[in-house]
């Protein structure tokens, strides 16, 4: 298992649709193990393959409040369907602020559906299908977006988009080549020195 560098906004693999996985073989199993290792080292609740520079439709997640769904898993070639409508009200900065390992150190409010259905393959090639609600539903939407070439900052409303664009320019995240290394670089979300 290997911890891999996390790509930052501006890297082309983050901004294009990822390819379907054709065969779940040893290479894919190793990739998924690396994704788990990287996600854990970064203190993330999810990680999509494009975030480590691999343009395949795979994401891992780890979230203890997942209800009847296993709190840790992988979905390969997933599909996602919104069940709950997305509110047209402005997002609540106290309750709806998201972060992303590929936008390290920042968070912006975003309104999402509170109820989704997700399906995809596990590492054995078995179809997994479940519903997710609340913050778990948000995680599923966030990771699924990565596979279609969207970061959550691409979905912000006008007010927060303006703030994001200023941040993006300040950080230099308009060009490829930026990464950070979990466990080596200072944790951009302040997890250094804290217990998991």
Per-residue pLDDT at 193 exceeds 80 = no
Question: What pLDDT, on the 0 to 100 scale, is given for residue 196?
Answer: 43
Per-residue pLDDT at 1 exceeds 80 = no
Active site residues: 143
Whether pTM > 0.85 for this model: the answer is yes
Distance (Å, whole) CA 139 – CA 151: 12
Tell me the mean pLDDT in the region 128-155: 98
Tell me the mean pLDDT in the region 123-129: 97
Distance (Å, whole) CA 59 – CA 112: 19
Tell me how far CA of residue 38 lies from CA of 59, 108, 169, 180, 195, in angstroms.
12, 23, 27, 11, 16
Tell me the mean pLDDT in the region 67-83: 96
For the stretch 24-42, pLDDT in tens is 999 999 999 999 999 999 9
Q: Are 145 and 152 in contact (CB under 8 A)?
A: yes
Distance (Å, whole) CA 61 – CA 69: 11
Distance (Å, whole) CA 127 – CA 140: 16
Question: What pLDDT, on the 0 to 100 scale, is given for residue 145?
Answer: 98
For the stretch 89-110, pLDDT in tens is 999 999 999 999 999 999 999 9
């Amino acid at each position: 298992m290997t911890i891999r560098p996390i790509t930052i906004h501006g890297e082309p693999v983050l901004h294009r649709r990822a390819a379907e996985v054709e065969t779940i073989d040893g290479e894919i199993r190793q990739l998924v193990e690396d994704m788990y290792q990287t996600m854990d080292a970064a203190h993330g609740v999810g990680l999509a393959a494009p975030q480590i520079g691999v343009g395949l439709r795979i994401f891992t997640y780890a979230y203890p409040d997942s209800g009847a769904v296993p709190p840790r898993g992988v979905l390969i070639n997933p599909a996602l369907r919104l069940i709950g409508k997305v509110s047209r009200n402005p997002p609540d900065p106290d309750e709806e602020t998201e972060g992303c390992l590929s936008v390290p150190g920042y968070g912006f409010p975003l309104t999402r559906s509170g109820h989704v259905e997700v399906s995809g393959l596990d590492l054995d090639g078995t179809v997994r299908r479940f519903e997710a609600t609340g913050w778990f539903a948000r995680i599923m939407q966030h990771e699924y977006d990565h596979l279609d070439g969207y970061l959550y900052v691409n979905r912000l409303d006008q007010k927060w988009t303006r703030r994001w664009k200023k941040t993006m320019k300040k950080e230099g995240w308009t060009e490829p080549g930026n990464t950070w290394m979990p466990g080596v670089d200072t944790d951009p979300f302040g997890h250094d020195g804290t217990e998991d």
